[in-house]
Amino acid sequence: MTEFSPTILAFCCNWCSYAGADLAGVNRLQMPPNVHVIRVMCSASVKPEYVFKAISQGIDGVLVLGCHIGDCHYLTGNHRTAKRIPVAKKILRDAGIDDRRVRLDWVSAAEGEKFQQVITEFVGEVKALGPNPLREVRM
Amino acid sequence: MNDLARRLVTIAFEERGADHLLLMAERHGNVGPVMVEKGQDPGDARVDVPYQLVNILSNLIPFMGKAKVAIVCRRCDERALAELAKRGIVDDASIVKIGLACTKEQVERCRCSDCVPSRVDIGEPAEPCPDDTLASELSSMGTEERSAFWMRQFRKCNKCFGCTLNCPVCFCDDCVLEERTYTPEQGIPPGPAFHLIRSFHLADKCVECGECERSCPADIPLLTLRKMVNRDMRDLFGYTAGDRERRSPLLTTLDDQPLEDDGHAC
């Protein structure tokens, strides 16, 4: 049997994290290829609905990356994210889904290395958790 | 008109000067929500029917103009009204609340920990119920066991939207759960995302009235899920829904400045 390779969605905000990811790419930093990056205009446009939908359809992990607090292009967008995602994680926990499958982090446009580090860490963590149990659930 | 109806009519029209009275009443053998003006016969008033009149009221409000409406109000109704008033959907000044204390049986059915209205007009206040046993049981379970429990429950859902339609604090004009993106157009059950999304949407406004659980034809313990999420909200932000003064933490920044959002839409 081949080794479990998780499928991970990373929502990156256009102004910081996506640029950070770009920088990581330009610098040729090595990271696991499990991540599908989705560009969003602000981390606040990542509705928790997206996270729930992804998890319940069998995605193994969801990363939400935004600008550092205070650096948001839309001033208070990431404040909203910082409040919503913890609630979403708690709800997942209540429903019996490991909340380590969702992670919120801040990556600025200059932090290519941090992007690499976050991705590597998260992929390792999700790998250790194993496949999403909901992938097998036939509703 | 029974004694209870006479009492409600006196309180509403004579003591508190309302123009309309909204109550649950029995007419021709059917129990349902009834709205009467002064001098009209409401039928036999019933308070043993656990039904959220707030839901009816918030649908009527746009057509009421400046009229003052008296409503028979449990503690949960009162808190639901506070949530609606905070978001500007109902006007505090145009509502007369007739406080109804739940009986012991009703409190036990809802596992209600906050059951005495701020002003009791009808009924005797009962002791609050300490805790939801199923919720504590689930919290102490392992992740896999809990997941198995909820997936078994969610699989029973037949997407009737009863929980949404009967919810006193579901007030969005366009519900995201009716979008194809989140709920498949065809086929039941709708998948776990349905219930998770609903939990999130109610996280900052659920008043634990238990209407979702009562109206669920599949007997999914939705109230337990709501209670678990509400406990999380208390842990995270120290916030309890139904607080008239405090803005929902999901509608404020990290330093408690209000965000430009009225909290009306999904």
Question: Domain limits of chain B?
Answer: 3-110, 133-251
Q: Output the pLDDT for position A138.
A: 59
Task: Tell me how far CA of residue B123 lies from CA of B72, B94, B99, B119, B211, in angstroms.
Answer: 12, 24, 9, 11, 21
On chain B, the residues whose CB falls within 8 A of the CB of A69 are: 254
Q: How far apart are CA B244 and CA A28, in angstroms?
A: 54
Structure tokens at B216: 């669920």
Name the pTM for this structure: 0.91
Task: Tell me how far CA of residue A14 lies from CA of A33, A61, A126, B43, B44, in angstroms.
Answer: 20, 20, 25, 61, 62
Q: How far apart are CA B239 and CA B79, in angstroms?
A: 13
Structure tokens at B55: 């839901």
What's the average pLDDT block by block, 10 residues per block, for chain B (266 residues)? 88 90 90 89 86 87 86 91 89 89 89 89 86 86 90 92 91 86 84 92 91 92 93 92 88 86 71
Q: Output the pLDDT for position A107.
A: 94
A68 and A111 Cβ atoms separated by less than 8 Å: no
**Nearest CB to B229; choose among A55, A91, A137:** A91
pLDDT tens series, chain A, 139 aa:
678 899 999 999 999 999 999 999 999 999 999 999 999 999 999 999 999 999 998 899 999 999 999 999 998 899 999 999 999 999 999 999 999 999 999 999 999 999 999 999 999 999 999 999 888 765 5
End-to-end CA distance of chain B: 42
Q: Considering only alpha carbons, which residue of chain B is nearest residue A79?
A: B253
- Verify whether the Cβ–Cβ distance B250 to A57 is below 8 Å: no
* Min Cα separation A74/chain B (Å): 12
Q: Output the pLDDT for position A86.
A: 94
A87 vs B: CB within 8 A = yes
**Domains, in order of start, for chain A:** 8-135 (3.40.50)
Q: What is the ipTM of this complex?
A: 0.92
A127 and A6 Cβ atoms separated by less than 8 Å: yes
What is the per-residue pLDDT across B123-168, written as a single tens digit (0 to 9) for each? 888 888 888 888 888 888 888 899 999 999 999 999 999 999 999 9
Q: Considering only alpha carbons, which residue of chain A is nearest residue B258?
A: A76
* Min Cα separation A85/chain B (Å): 10
- Verify whether the Cβ–Cβ distance A96 to B146 is below 8 Å: yes
A48 vs B: CB within 8 A = yes
Interface A-B, measured as beta-carbon pairs within 8 A, has a size of 107
Which conformational region is residue B183 in: left (phi greater than 0), alpha (psi within -120 to 50 degrees), or beta?
beta
Q: Considering only alpha carbons, which residue of chain A is nearest residue B146?
A: A96
On chain B, the residues whose CB falls within 8 A of the CB of A132 are: none
- Verify whether the Cβ–Cβ distance A95 to B150 is below 8 Å: yes
